[in-house]
Amino acid sequence: MLCWALGADSVATQRGDSFVIGQGGHLWIVISDPSQHNGEYIIVNLTTDEFRAGKDCEVNPGEHQWITDKCFVSFGDARKVTSAEDAQIAAHMATKAIRKQFPVTGALLKKILTAAKKSKAIPPAFVSYL
């Protein structure tokens, strides 16, 4: 999950955290370690649209609590989140505009990272974060 409390006023995002933006939004997963990149990290989302996402990484029900249908990691939609944007995400979580979800398992994270490193859809500059 995003925003595990470290203290009264501080939060930390960790690799494997996940969240949904808005009602009916996609699940976004943190796939890099913010502590190794000055608070910046890479996120990817899941979609059931296999044509949009490609089939680099299929995720099935049972691999995460949020997943109810077969879906795919959309590496082409990967985003780099800055520390300032992370603070905005935390603020939106406080208002429930962004809803944190269970973190992904180590096995699912490994599966996503393996596929990300091979994917031609992820922006090459993001691979160095993995």
Q: pLDDT of 63-82, one tens digit each?
A: 999 999 999 999 999 999 99
Residue extents of the structural domains in the chain: 4-127
Q: In angstroms, rounded to a whole number, what is the distance separating the alpha carbons of residues 85 and 107?
A: 27
Question: In this predicted structure, what is the pLDDT of residue 24?
Answer: 82
As a whole-number percent, the residues of the chain with pLDDT over 90 amount to: 83
Q: Which helix (H) or strand (E) holds 87?
A: helix 83-94
- Rounded distance between C-alpha atoms, residue 79 and residue 75, angstroms: 9
> What sign has the CA pseudo-torsion 124, 45, 13, 61?
negative
Instruction: Please tell me the predicted confidence (pLDDT) of residue 9.
Output: 35
Its CATH class, for the domain covering 4-127, is mainly beta
Q: What is the pLDDT of residues 1-37, one digit of tens each?
A: 333 333 333 347 999 999 999 888 899 999 999 999 9
